[in-house]
Amino acid sequence: MGSGSKDTQQPKELPIVLVHRLPSIDFPPNSFRHRLRSHFHILDPHESPEPYDSFLSRHAHSIRALITFGPAPISAELLEPLPFLELVVATSAGVNHIDLPACRSRGIVVTNASFAFAEDVADCAVGLLIDVLRRISAADRFVRGRLWPVNKTFPLGFKLGGRRVGIVGMGSIGSEVAKRLSAFGCSIAYTSRNKKESVSFPFYANVSDLVTDSDVLILCCSLTEETYHIVDKDVMSALGKEGVIINVGRGSLIEEKALVQSLVQGEIGGAGLDVYEKEGDAPKELFGLDNVVLSPHSAVATPESFEALFQLTVGNLEAFFSNKPLVSVVSN
């Protein structure tokens, strides 16, 4: 290199990005932190010995973009000491931990990561559904528990093909679920904020209408004020004794107490759950049921998803700093 141009010799000043996270929750895996630092000047208050408030007020004048990891809430109070903030980059598909009205009133744009996660979450939704209907986890328990040589036969499952699947939320995740389940011979219908012109499956105006024509409900929508407890006791009653619920959205989409009761009393057929009202644990009343499959909010958890998340995060931030269109804006 010897006589390279001045442009390449002089290190560029990297754009500043504030990291917002709970002290206990680190960056996602895949050397995310290290790789972000090659693109941006990362400010992480939890890495600094300085008190949080003083760190923030010292840097506030230069903070135009914030990246948030995990479920750390973004409230109006948090935004207050950041008068120049223009962009919040969420690293999750759901953005229920972000005060969207507060962002709107401040003119702050929010991006999310459902593009990065859509395929993996859809795979997991389909996996949970096959598992519940065909009793795969229960079968695995049966074999490992050495019951096969004793009981000889294992209870029959239910065929996937021909089931009427109602998808709640036909965004990037819902569309991937629909594509997959069509190949199994399921019939698909959906409800969503609005009918999507690009989607040919039958649209229902709300969950109450959708459930009357569904054997299976799959929840892939955002958690908002409108979708909080969108699946309640009445929806479960309408789903009926052979009906199955899959939730890969957020726990509070379902009235969990009623769900537990319906499952324990056999009022619905089964459930595959990746998310729960209380993040970090599942209702223990379900631990003895064979028609339930429980996963620890791991629907997004593949190296490929996290790589896609990294690319999407960098893509949004680079677009922002070079005044190009953002990749995944949340409509707000």
Catalytic residues: 250, 279, 297
Burial 17-30 (b: 16+ CB within 10 A, else e): bbbbbeeeeebbee
Say which residues have a Cβ less than 8 Å from residue 68's Cβ, sequence separation at least 6: 19, 20, 21, 74, 88, 89, 90, 91, 97, 98
Kind of pairing between the strands at 65-68 and 87-90? parallel
| Residue whose CB is less far from its own copies, 57 or 298 | 298
- The yes or no reply on residue 130 touching its own copies (CB under 8 A) is yes
- Please, which residues have CB within 8 angstroms of residue 12's CB and are 6 or more apart in sequence? none
Q: Is 51 in the site for its own copies (CB under 8 A)?
A: no
The residue count for binding its own copies (CB under 8 A) is 54
Question: Is 120 a residue that touches its own copies (CB under 8 A)?
Answer: yes
Give the angle subtended at the CA of 281 by the CAs of 280 and 282, to the nearest 5°: 140
Site string for its own copies, 9-48 (x = CB under 8 A): --------------------x-------------------
The answer to whether the CB of 316 falls within 8 A of the CB of 326 is yes
Under rule CB under 8 A, residue 136 binds its own copies? yes
- Distance from C-alpha of 28 to C-alpha of 250, rounded to nearest angstrom: 19
In angstroms and rounded to an integer, the radius of gyration of the C-alpha atoms of the chain is 23
Pick between residue 232 and residue 279 the one whose CB is nearest to its own copies.
279
Of 84-92, 106-114, 252-260, 294-302, which segment contacts its own copies by CB under 8 A? 294-302
Q: How far apart are CA 324 and CA 331, in angstroms?
A: 17
* Part in contact with its own copies (CB under 8 A); list of ranges 50-58, 73-81, 181-189, 209-217: 181-189
In the complex, least distance from residue 44 CB atom to its own copies, rounded to whole angstroms: 20
The site for its own copies (CB under 8 A) is made up of: 29, 119-120, 123-124, 126-128, 130-131, 134-137, 139-144, 146, 148-149, 152, 154, 156-162, 179-180, 182-185, 280-282, 284, 287, 293-296, 298, 301-306
